[in-house]
């Protein structure tokens, strides 16, 4: 019994040690019971927060914003190098600024020097071919002249202004009555506009033309003492007078060389590939660079005569053309000699048929135009 005392004592210690463990369970239950209202309160708050969550969703956009920004950020960062890569190659390949300057320099050079020879034709070959064409036309049209009737510079100036948008024949039928009634600038400047309009009605655009011829007459009286000036810079200041009209007057009334770039001239020099320009001033400069100044006035007459009689706009008479071997546009019109001759137009001054060589003389054995002369 005495030995069991300690064991009993040990048992009591073990039970004492275990007792608190058993007591802790109720304590936990009590603590759990105490925490239960807190959990319930948290549970009750949870739905309230969930209910408020949708309302605060816009405020929580920053959570989505990073995703958007992160999605866009790579696109922008990737886009910047891509844009730079696309922008850089054109600069390296085309070199836009330098090409622009070169184009401007070429355009300005064409005004004073010459156009680029077409179809890889050398500059020397182009000059030779152009001058050969002019010599051939001079043999065909030895009498080439301005086809407007005039007796003095004033009449030529007025007739040239009236020739816009009509034929020289119509102008020549109208001007006699005008000059009989108003022979001087002073007379025309003081005329009744309605009477002048009635005279000029057959030429078309008679109101505008009346305003121009009366305006230039008043300017001649006020600024030049009733005399037509012999300088280009003075003529172009007159109402209705441009460079073409001025060169007609300077070349045919004063003997100053000039190139008359009318519709016929523009059409033919482009067909002959003397120039590819379309602006009259640039055409004048480009063609003028191919010929000496002394040839300019008669060159204009030769080209215009040829354009009115043979090298028409719609149906050029290629088969009857005296410069077929020299023309790169041969074949645009009728090439049959007999059919081509029916297309020839006879105007004032006649047509030098007896001086025109047979079309066969310009063709080879196969009926094709001979190779252009000087094209090498």
For residues 375 and 188, the model is more confident at 188
Known catalytic residue at 86: no
Mean pLDDT over all residues of the chain? 74
Exactly one of 168, 209, 244, 295 is catalytic; which is it?
244
The angle that helices 296-309 and 263-271 make with each other, rounded to 10 degrees, is 90
Q: Which two tokens stand for residue 366?
A: 């196969």
CA 182/CA 188 separation, integer angstroms = 5
Per-residue pLDDT tens digits for 334-347 = 999 999 999 988 64
Domain boundaries, the chain: 152-256
CATH architecture under which domain 152-256 falls: Orthogonal Bundle (1.10)
pLDDT at 173 over 70: yes
pTM for the whole structure: 0.61
Mean pLDDT to the nearest integer, 107-119: 39
Known catalytic residue at 262: yes
Q: What is the DSSP letter of 335?
A: -
Exactly one of 262, 282, 315, 339 is catalytic; which is it?
262
Q: 271 exposed, middle or buried (CB, 10 Å; 0-12, 13-18, 19+)?
A: middle
The DSSP annotation for 214-280 comes to HHHHHHHHHHHTT---SSHHHHTTSTT--HHHHHHHHHHHS--------HHHHHHHHHTTS----SH
Per-residue pLDDT tens digits for 230-252 = 999 999 999 999 999 999 999 99
């Amino acid at each position: 019994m005495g030995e069991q005392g300690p064991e009993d004592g040990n048992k009591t210690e073990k039970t004492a040690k275990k007792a608190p463990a058993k007591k802790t369970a109720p304590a936990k239950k009590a603590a759990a019971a105490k925490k239960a209202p807190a959990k319930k309160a948290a549970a009750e708050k949870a739905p309230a927060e969930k209910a408020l969550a949708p309302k605060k969703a816009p405020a929580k956009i920053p959570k989505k914003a990073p995703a958007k920004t992160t999605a866009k950020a790579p696109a922008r960062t990737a886009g910047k190098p891509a844009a730079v890569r696309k922008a850089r190659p054109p600069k390296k390949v085309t070199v836009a600024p330098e090409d622009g300057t070169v184009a401007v320099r070429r355009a300005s050079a064409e005004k004073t020097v010459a156009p680029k020879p077409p179809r890889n034709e050398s500059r020397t070959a182009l000059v030779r071919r152009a001058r050969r064409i002019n010599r051939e036309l001079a043999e065909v049209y030895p009498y080439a002249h301005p086809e407007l009737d005039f007796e003095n510079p004033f009449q030529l100036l007025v007739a040239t202004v009236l020739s816009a948008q009509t034929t020289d024949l119509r102008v020549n039928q109208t001007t006699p009555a005008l000059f009989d009634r108003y022979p001087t600038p002073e007379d025309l400047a003081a005329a009744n506009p309605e009477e002048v309009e009635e005279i000029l009605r057959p030429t078309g655009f008679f109101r505008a033309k009346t305003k121009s011829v009366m305006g230039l007459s008043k300017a001649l009286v006020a600024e030049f003492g009733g005399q037509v000036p012999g300088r280009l810079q003075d003529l172009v200041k007159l109402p209705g007078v441009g460079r073409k009209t001025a060169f007609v007057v300077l070349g045919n009334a004063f003997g100053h060389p000039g190139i008359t770039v009318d519709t016929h001239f523009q059409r033919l020099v482009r067909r002959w590939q003397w120039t590819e320009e379309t602006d009259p001033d640039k055409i004048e400069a480009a063609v003028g660079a191919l010929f000496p100044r002394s040839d300019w006035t008669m060159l204009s007459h030769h080209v215009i005569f040829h354009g009115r009689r043979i090298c028409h706009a719609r149906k050029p008479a290629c088969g009857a053309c005296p410069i077929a071997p020299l023309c790169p546009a041969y074949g645009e019109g009728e090439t049959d000699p007999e059919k081509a001759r029916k297309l020839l137009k006879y105007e004032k001054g006649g047509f030098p048929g007896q001086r025109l060589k047979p079309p066969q003389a310009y063709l080879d054995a196969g009926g094709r135009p001979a190779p252009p002369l000087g094209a090498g």
